[in-house]
């Protein structure tokens, strides 16, 4: 029989609960990402009582459930400082000695002319001189690193597919010689997924792709079209089909931009129908079009998007698609701009942290020198030194393990058009998806819980 614990406990400040259906309530602890599915008639009231009383009664089943809550951090020792623990995890992931990544902007040019795009599509491609400087940088940084990741950016990176092939091979050779694991990803509009370009990506050790769709075909073609105005939807879907024949295990994030005037829910089911053949590979990220300095006509009020979001999430979950909220390992950095070793490299050699500031010298934090050293400007320390633990709003927030301060562009430039706390308002919608997709889900349908070893939790 399980002994009654002698240590004092408290409910974690990062517990979240939400109804999954009329019979069940979902629970997630954001410190560990552990999830529980609780029956409203028995296990849910018992969990509420255990979290309140912080100790079990003499019943063995009740003590087993208490143990589950402790091991998954729904209950933590009274002396455990959750905020200090998160800070330690954050600092370790910010300055990881294991690996780092570079974003390579192959070109600022693009074959699309999306009306809401914040980039200036200048005729600028990465010069050979900058490529050589990157290789010199890698020779300085790679020794002792276990992993290195390249993210191919643009404009549209596949306009420079030959560069991705040749330059990527040079970086791979450096990594292979040092025993460093090399992976790559690409952010592409996927219009140029020809057989030759697919071959390039397959040889580039691609493990992830992000593509943007603006809804079903009838909506997408009004927003994401070629320079001449021609729609792009059918070519993208066909390209993804061919790509997955070559790379069947490729992970794909489908960013779905939602814009003003295109939120009627009925046609959106057509998008999910078209994506169904890729369902095992993709996660969908619904996001409103964000206003840019040069354009905001397609943006909608937050309450309009929230209403749409609730509806489309229910439809998406019902069809078995994964939804992503940008969730990372609890406590780790949320944005690729935060790790000190990560840089985004402009075609002319400027370096920055933020993808929204990558198309000009004015948005840079310095430059990459020919010998591979980095010359920083006066703004760089603000970005390199960021920590959410100096932001009162963050230290008091109950979803801090998920966003860890959110978008850096907001505190650095006081950007009023971005919602720093978007994840907080949407957490209840992602809870159900997280529970459904938890590989080792506990279903507490009665007062007879599964043994503690079956819970999915990473206990610090």
Q: Would you say 137 and 374 are in contact if contact means Cβ atoms under 8 Å apart?
A: yes
Structure tokens at 169: 């091979």
Is the domain of 120 the same as that of 225? Answer: yes
Residue 349 lies in a domain: yes
CATH number of the domain at 216, please: 3.20.20.70
CA atoms within 13 A on the CB side of 380: 17
344 forms beta bridges with 103, 352
Across all residues in the chain, what is the average pLDDT?
85
Phi, psi of 427 (to 5 degrees): -60, -35
Residue 426 lies in a domain: no
Is the domain of 123 the same as that of 53? Answer: no
Is the domain of 281 the same as that of 207? Answer: yes
Residue 94 lies in a domain: no
Is the domain of 368 the same as that of 294? Answer: yes
Residue owning tokens 């490299």: 345
Strands in 282-288's sheet, in edge-to-edge order, are: 322-323, 282-288, 251-258, 206-213, 181-187, 147-153, 99-105, 343-345, 350-352, 366-368, 374-376
Instruction: Using DSSP, state whether 457 is helix, strand or coil.
Output: coil
Residue 425 lies in a domain: no
Show the domain range for 23.
9-80+437-454
- Sign for the pseudo-dihedral over CA of 172, 173, 176, 180: negative
Is the domain of 18 the same as that of 138? Answer: no
Full-model pTM: 0.81
Is the domain of 126 the same as that of 44? Answer: no
- C-alpha 289/C-alpha 286 separation (Å) is 10
CA atoms within 13 A on the CB side of 204: 27
Residues 173-214: pLDDT tens digits? 999 999 999 999 999 999 999 999 999 999 999 999 999 999
Which candidate, 334, 395, 438, 448, places its Cα nearest to that of 28?
438
- C-alpha 365/C-alpha 221 separation (Å) is 36
Is the domain of 448 the same as that of 338? Answer: no
Q: Would you say 347 and 130 are in contact if contact means Cβ atoms under 8 Å apart?
A: yes
CA atoms within 13 A on the CB side of 173: 7
Structure tokens at 198: 């697919």
Is the domain of 284 the same as that of 144? Answer: yes
Is the domain of 272 the same as that of 399? Answer: yes
Instruction: Using DSSP, state whether 116 is helix, strand or coil.
Output: coil
Residue 432 lies in a domain: no
Is the domain of 251 the same as that of 162? Answer: yes
Q: How many domains does the chain have?
A: 2
Q: In this structure, are strands 206-213 and 181-187 parallel, antiparallel, or unpaired?
A: parallel
Is the domain of 270 the same as that of 387? Answer: yes
Residue 222 lies in a domain: yes
Cα end-to-end distance, the chain, whole Å: 26
Residue owning tokens 């952010």: 187
Q: Would you say 270 and 222 are in contact if contact means Cβ atoms under 8 Å apart?
A: no
Residue 293 lies in a domain: yes
Q: Low-confidence residues of the chain, pLDDT below 70?
A: 1-6, 291-296, 325-334, 359-360, 408-460
Residues 94-151: pLDDT tens digits? 877 788 999 999 999 999 999 888 887 877 899 999 999 999 999 999 999 999 999 9
Question: Residue 4, Cβ neighbours under 10 Å: how many?
Answer: 12
Is the domain of 138 the same as that of 279? Answer: yes
Residue 18 lies in a domain: yes
Model pLDDT, residue 331: 57
Q: In this structure, are strands 350-352 and 343-345 parallel, antiparallel, or unpaired?
A: antiparallel
Burial of 447 (0-12, 13-18, 19+ CB in 10 A): middle
């Amino acid at each position: 029989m399980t002994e009654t614990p002698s240590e004092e406990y408290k409910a974690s400040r990062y517990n979240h609960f939400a109804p999954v259906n009329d019979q069940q309530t979902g629970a997630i602890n954001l410190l560990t990402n552990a999830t529980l599915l609780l029956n409203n008639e028995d296990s849910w009231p018992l969990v509420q009582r255990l979290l309140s009383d912080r100790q079990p009664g003499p019943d063995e089943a009740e003590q087993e459930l208490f143990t589950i809550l402790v091991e998954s951090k729904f209950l933590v020792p009274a002396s455990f400082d959750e905020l200090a623990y998160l800070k330690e995890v954050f600092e370790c992931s910010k300055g990881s000695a294991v690996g780092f990544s570079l974003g390579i902007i192959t070109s600022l040019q693009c074959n699309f002319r999306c009306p809401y795009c914040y980039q200036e599509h200048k005729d600028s491609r990465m010069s050979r001189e900058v490529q050589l400087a990157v290789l010199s940088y890698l020779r300085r940084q790679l020794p002792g690193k276990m992993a290195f990741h390249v993210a191919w950016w643009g404009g549209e990176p596949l306009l420079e597919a030959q560069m991705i092939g040749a330059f990527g091979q040079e970086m791979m050779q450096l990594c292979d010689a040092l025993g460093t694991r090399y992976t790559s990803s690409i952010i592409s509009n996927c219009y140029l997924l020809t057989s030759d370009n697919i071959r390039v990506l397959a040889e580039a050790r691609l493990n992830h792709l992000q593509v943007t769709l603006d809804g079903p075909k009838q909506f997408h073609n009004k927003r994401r079209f070629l320079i001449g105005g021609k729609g792009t939807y059918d070519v993208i879907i066909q390209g993804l089909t061919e790509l997955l024949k070559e790379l069947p295990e490729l992970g794909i994030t489908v960013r779905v931009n939602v814009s003003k005037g295109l939120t009627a829910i009925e046609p959106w089911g057509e998008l999910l129908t078209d994506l169904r053949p890729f369902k095992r590979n993709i996660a969908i990220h619904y996001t409103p079009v964000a206003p840019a300095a040069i354009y905001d006509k397609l943006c909608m009020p937050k309450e309009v998007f929230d209403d749409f979001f609730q509806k489309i999430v229910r439809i998406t979950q019902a069809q078995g698609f994964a939804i992503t909220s940008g969730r990372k390992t609890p406590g780790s950095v949320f944005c690729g701009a935060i790790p000190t070793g990560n840089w985004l490299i402009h075609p002319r050699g400027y370096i920055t942290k933020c993808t929204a500031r990558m198309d000009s010298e004015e948005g840079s934090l310095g430059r990459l020198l020919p010998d591979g050293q980095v010359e920083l400007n006066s703004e760089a320390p603000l970005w390199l030194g960021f920590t959410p633990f100096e932001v009162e709003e963050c230290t008091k927030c109950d979803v801090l393990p998920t966003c860890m301060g959110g978008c850096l562009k907001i505190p650095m430039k006081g950007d009023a058009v971005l919602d720093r706390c978007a994840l907080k308002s949407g957490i209840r919608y992602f809870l159900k998806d997280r529970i459904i997709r938890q590989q080792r889900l506990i279903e507490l349908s009665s007062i007879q819980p599964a043994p503690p070893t079956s819970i999915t939790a990473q206990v610090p």
